[in-house]
């Protein structure tokens, strides 16, 4: 029996786009990428990233990530650069893209990808693992494609 691809599964979950089943979508991302944390931030009317959905974030981190300015932290930098941002080990990162509070997630391999509807930035989707991991170019492309599907639905 052929398993549906992640993109096919996301399309099925989105259906007609009248509502977004965030929990089911995040479950698919967690399963596919073998991650423990998944987040979606959407751009609000003020150009800030607002947490729309999450799975696996510790309570201590939630207040810190509810609203993220573009250019701050991994999600904010992914939005600013309009490109994926990743770290192999969040706990030992010295690049400056990881904010100090992010270490409270206890995650290591992490990636944040912008969500585009055409050229319009609509948000950022991210996943993280509790072990070091470099996301491949194929994994990055897939997460960007998922983000694009989510961005188009949110733009309706």
| Whether 82 contacts 114, CB under 8 Å | yes
Token pair 């989510």: residue: 150
pLDDT score, position 1: 40
Topology annotation, domain 6-154: Beta-Lactamase (3.30.450)
pLDDT score, position 37: 93
What φ, ψ does residue 37 adopt, rounded to 5°? -130, 140
pLDDT score, position 100: 56
CA distance 100 to 94: 10
pLDDT score, position 4: 62
pLDDT score, position 61: 84
pLDDT digits (tens, 9 = 90+) for 71-90: 988 899 999 999 999 876 55
| Whether 38 contacts 23, CB under 8 Å | no
- What residue ranges of the chain have pLDDT lower than 50? 1-2, 156
CA distance 66 to 143: 21
| Whether 77 contacts 121, CB under 8 Å | no
pLDDT score, position 2: 45
pLDDT score, position 154: 61
CA 125-126-131 angle, 5° bins = 170
pLDDT score, position 152: 85
Domain boundaries, the chain: 6-154
pLDDT digits (tens, 9 = 90+) for 18-32: 788 999 999 999 999
């Amino acid at each position: 029996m052929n398993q549906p691809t992640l993109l096919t599964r996301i399309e099925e979950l989105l259906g007609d786009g009248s509502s977004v089943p965030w929990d089911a979508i995040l479950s698919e991302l967690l399963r596919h990428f073998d991650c423990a944390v998944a987040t979606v931030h959407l751009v609000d009317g003020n150009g800030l990233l607002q947490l729309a959905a999450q799975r696996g974030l510790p309570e201590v981190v939630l207040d810190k990530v509810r609203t993220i300015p573009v250019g701050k932290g991994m999600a904010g930098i992914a939005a600013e650069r309009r490109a994926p941002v990743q770290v192999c080990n969040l706990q030992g990162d010295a690049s400056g893209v990881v904010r100090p509070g992010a270490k409270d997630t206890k995650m290591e391999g992490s990636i944040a990808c912008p969500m585009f509807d055409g050229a319009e930035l609509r948000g950022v989707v991210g996943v993280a693992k509790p072990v070091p991991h470099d996301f491949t170019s194929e994994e990055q492309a897939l997460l960007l494609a998922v983000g694009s599907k989510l961005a188009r639905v949110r733009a309706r």
